[in-house]
Amino acid sequence: MRFDVLTLFPSMFEAVLGESIIGRARSRGIITLNFINIRDYSEDKHRRVDDYPYGGGKGMVMQPGPIYNAYKSVVEGLEYKPKVIYLTPQGKVFNQAMAKELAKEKHLILLCGHYEGVDERIIEEIVDMELSIGDYVLTGGEIPAMAVIDAVCRLVPGVLGNEESFKDESHYSGLLEYPQYTRPPEFLGRRVPEVLLSGHHANIEKWRKEQSILRTCSKRPDLMDKILLKEKKEQI
Ligand code: SAM
């Protein structure tokens, strides 16, 4: 799977996406990440990419021209149109179901805004989808883009060692994951639940399922309500 990120700060990305699981997937050729500096596509002699908002007001707005040129440099010569995602606090709030859908794409372009955001006309011209990572405002789209890339990439086949490892995870089925334990069997007087030491796979599976339901009810009752509503709808 390929990602092209249009950003004013390409150097922010390597520290996060050059390491660990995503870094390994890149060196194995499963994932390709390109970070394109929008400033390189400015036609201004001072490489300017932003300007004052028409109508007045605080802050600067990213001009459409350099973003469009950067976008063109990615899509030129392609025989398909990659989906373009603008990271913005005005977008739909990103979740695991969206990550699952996006992991089916072969190529995504992510646009990171900065300052007051981007000129509306570039959104109209090239953007297919607007995604937010939550109802709060960050200084730029780089952290949201990294979050989306990380969440999507780990669902791409071959990125995680064992495909099963994300299927039990929180949000995959709608429930939160059961509690996890590792050695030692006792820590500060707290013992690992006996069932996990029993080696009885059916009992372990049953316990984990119950724990998933219990903790979803206590930590995220809103998710449990969604699951119950979905089940009710399916019965109708
Ligand atoms: N003026 C914009 C507004 O009120 O909608 C906010 C601009 S924000 C300071 C600058 C950039 O950060 C945005 O263009 C966007 O790319 C990114 N950004 C900020 N918060 C975000 C969030 N919650 N999710 C995704 N991107 C975000």
53 lines ligand 1 (CB under 6 A): no
pLDDT in tens, 140-194: 999 999 999 999 999 999 999 876 678 778 888 899 999 999 999 999 999 999 9
Counting residues of the chain whose pLDDT is more than 70, the rounded percentage is 99
The residue whose CB lies within 8 Å of the most ligand 1 atoms, and thus the one to mutate among 8, 9, 88, 110, is 88
Mean pLDDT of the region 220-230:
93
Mean pLDDT of the region 54-74:
98
Mean pLDDT of the region 63-72:
98
Which position has the token pair 């995604």?
A: 131
Say yes or no to pLDDT of 36 above 70: yes
Q: Which residues pair with 34 in a beta bridge?
A: 4
Say yes or no to pLDDT of 68 above 90: yes
d(CA 139, CA 143): 9
Task: State the distance from the centre of ligand 1 to the C-alpha of 39, rounded, in angstroms.
Answer: 19
Mean pLDDT of the region 31-35:
98
Residues in the chain, total: 236
> Residue 137 to residues 84, 131, 132: CA-CA distances in angstroms?
21, 13, 9
Global confidence as pTM: 0.95
The residue whose CB lies within 8 Å of the most ligand 1 atoms, and thus the one to mutate among 109, 132, 135, 137, is 137
SS3 assignment, position 149: helix
For the chain, which domains are there? Answer: 2-153 (3.40.1280.10), 168-235 (1.10.1270.20)
Higher pLDDT, 164 or 78: 78
102 lines ligand 1 (CB under 6 A): no
**pLDDT at residue 164 in the model:** 61
132 lines ligand 1 (CB under 6 A): yes
Say yes or no to pLDDT of 72 above 70: yes
Pairing status of strand 83-93 against strand 129-132? parallel
Query: CA angle 224-227-231, nearest 5°?
Result: 140
Mean pLDDT of the region 64-78:
98
Contact between 170 and 200 (Cβ < 8 Å): no
Ligand 1 atom closest to the Cα of residue 135 is 23
